[in-house]
Amino acid sequence: MRLKDKVALITGAASGIGKATALLFGQE
């Protein structure tokens, strides 16, 4: 489940908001 969510966030990174979210997840 978590990996799927991360993949979804990384996939949405191209939109911009996803990038910021990906950075937040990267810190955890």
Q: What is the pLDDT of residues 1-28, one digit of tens each?
A: 677 777 766 666 566 666 677 777 777 6
d(CA 10, CA 20): 10
Q: Is the dihedral of CA 17, 22, 10, 5 positive or negative?
A: negative
Say what the pLDDT of residue 4 is.
Answer: 78
Contact status, residue 18 vs residue 9, Cβ threshold 8 Å:
yes
- Domain ranges in the chain are 1-28
How many angstroms separate the CA atoms of 1 and 17, rounded?
Answer: 21
